[in-house]
Structure 1
């Protein structure tokens, strides 16, 4: 009998750790709903700190829309703060009946990299990661706001300047920074500011989802100099009104983001 129970437990654990997503129990969702009703204010400081808030999400995940909504809410309420929001739509939910039009295996691979950097056992959605060093599961506004406030309070000495010139099929980017360290790359994220999707199948069947800060492509460049020129392919339908470029320097060994900025689009 004991052996049977042990085998059953091992099978259950193997199934759990093979999952590519994490669903929150009703008790957690009820608690999150109560917490979201409270007024939370993100605190700033004089340290010139920043917060890069990366969300891994999917239209095929029923727990993701509240996280998307929370990110949109925080973006509206904190436009004057040094906070940068990026939403990556992963592709591992696509096999469950609905293909997310914004999903990419490239973003799944990035989340897998964070799993290694942060020594996590499982990968799941929705997942927030702040400045590449701390993560948060779900859509609890109190917890996320506290983590963002902590990031903004960090002393900042590095700087990064980006300007981009639009050509026919590409964007020519000039960068300048005072940071040049081993194992650091410059990442350029092409962001579609907002979009609406009507989901016909899967866990969000029948829902109309509103998205913000959708990462459409993410390009990485090894930093060998403090100033230089790079180029990226222009995304389809790119324009300076509805799109933006966010650049950040990240340690490729630890995942820590050292500095971030928006490109001046010319």
Structure 2
């Protein structure tokens, strides 16, 4: 009788263990599925950098590592080379006054200082661009706590220009679609300034950026002048919808050639 009860107790305990294990496994399997299905997050990383800044190369290098690490995820990197370092000994060939103006706009919306290397994530948060822990944390937060407004992009190359077709449903008057021509990787041998003698490698370099109002039209075509020695494997198009008043980026996508 005692043996029978022991057997019954053992069988019951084994049954409960199996049920519990099944429930636990089901829960652990469902959690990431639910996160994925309910969330369509993205992260846009905008780095403000310069070849004339000695503290910028680590941030440039980090962007290259992030690009490789998140190549299959909706993480979009744009490196804006600013021009205000150019009068301090070395002119950055990738720099432009437009890039500096974009950083100044962020300075107003984010109430931040203008400095390099500065990283802005989804138009809402800024910090030093070489801070790996801050970058990783910001990416994870963005991927799991944002919803990506859909943007459809396609690009075609002709003899003299690049034509980009776009389509979205975001037609709020404060939103603009920014379409950017990006060079994936390049390098420079710096001969003067703070980085004199260094061979600098850059990733995701912004060359041209077109801003399109979505107030009257949510689809259309924009074009870029074809860069010299253009190779379709070395360039890509990144588009993002941004609220011009708050600076918040609502959605992003990219297109290859």
TM-score (norm 2): 0.82
* Alignment match, 1:150: 141
From 49, 59, 68, the equivalent of 2:60 is 68
From 64, 81, 88, the equivalent of 2:80 is 88
The superposition leaves residues 91-134 of structure 1 with CA deviations (integer Å, 9 ceiling, x where unpaired) of 101111001111111100110011111112x2000000001111
Counterparts of residues 215-234 of structure 1 (less than 5 Å): 215-223=206-214, 224-234=216-226
How many residues end up aligned between the 2 structures? Answer: 222
From 97, 122, 134, the equivalent of 1:131 is 122
> Is contact 1:162-1:264 (8 Å) kept?
no
Counterparts of residues 20-169 of structure 1 (less than 5 Å): 45-46=35-36, 47-120=39-112, 122-156=113-147, 158-169=149-160
> Is contact 2:149-2:252 (8 Å) kept?
no
> Is contact 1:183-1:252 (8 Å) kept?
yes
Q: RMSD of aligned C-alpha atoms?
A: 1.7
The 3 A distance-change label for structure 1 pair 155 and 137 is closer
Counterparts of residues 163-202 of structure 1 (less than 5 Å): 163-202=154-193
Q: Normalized per residue, which structure has more helix?
A: 2
Shift of 1:232: 2.8
* Alignment match, 2:243: 251
- Please, which runs of 5 or more residues in structure 2 have no aligned partner? 1-31
Shift of 1:144: 1.0
Distance in structure 2 (CA, Å) of the matches to 1:193 and 1:114: 24
